[in-house]
Amino acid sequence: MEGPIDDWLADAPEADWESHVLRLANRGALGHAAGWLLDLPALAQPYACDSAKCSPGLRRPRDRSCCADLAVAVTPDERAAIEAVLPTVEARMAADPRWKRRPEVFDDGVLRRPGRRCVFAYGDAGLRCALHDLGAKPMPCRLFPLAVVDLGDHRLLTAVHKTTARALQTFPARHFPCLGSGPPVVESERQTLRGIMSAQAAAAVVRAVNAWVATA
């Protein structure tokens, strides 16, 4: 049965993952669960979201934030969903000087980042997302730090990691303060996994990653 992840993958940007998957397989670090291929090192790394660490005023110069530093491409359906909630978003962003007049929020299919942070990110003990509870958050934002790659016959579940930065067009994990402490990514993101696959499949993915961690 198709769902939001299927619709998003149909319009997702493409990247060459063949060599990365081959390296994982050669190292014994390519997992399998519920029909998914698993990038075990990326999914096993520690992750804990702490929005207070995302505040540009509090970050060290080399620290990054998903709200401030990632380019987020949106599909036509995601764009329509965002446009539908803009009146509500505008009220939430009233205190943000970038929204003194409603700014352009898209730039060639990518969310704009005026002032070096996402147009929908606002300061509140860190950075918060004005789209978060409106059902209009783009898939890359909902997934972070996870990523789903369509390989044709298979799908690869991976995450922002030192080995995936180039393919994901992002910074390596060491630059994100949310990565490097806490439980494994798959443990922290169980709810996200249930949103893109069945609860049974999500549980199988978590078990597979934890089993690899126990033997690595």
pLDDT higher than 90, residue 64: no
pTM, full prediction: 0.87
pLDDT tens figures, 134-180? 989 999 999 999 999 988 888 999 999 999 998 888 888 988 989 99
- In the chain, beta strands by DSSP E: 30-33, 36-39, 46-47, 106-107, 110-111, 121-123, 127-129, 146-150, 155-159, 179-184
pLDDT higher than 50, residue 2: no
Tokens at residue 80, please?
A: 């329509």
Average pLDDT of the chain is 88
pLDDT tens figures, 74-126? 989 999 999 999 999 999 999 999 999 999 999 999 999 998 889 999 877 67
Of 122, 114, 107, nearest in space to 73 by CA: 107
The CA-based dihedral angle spanning residues 57, 50, 181, 141, taken in that order and rounded to the nearest 10 degrees: -100
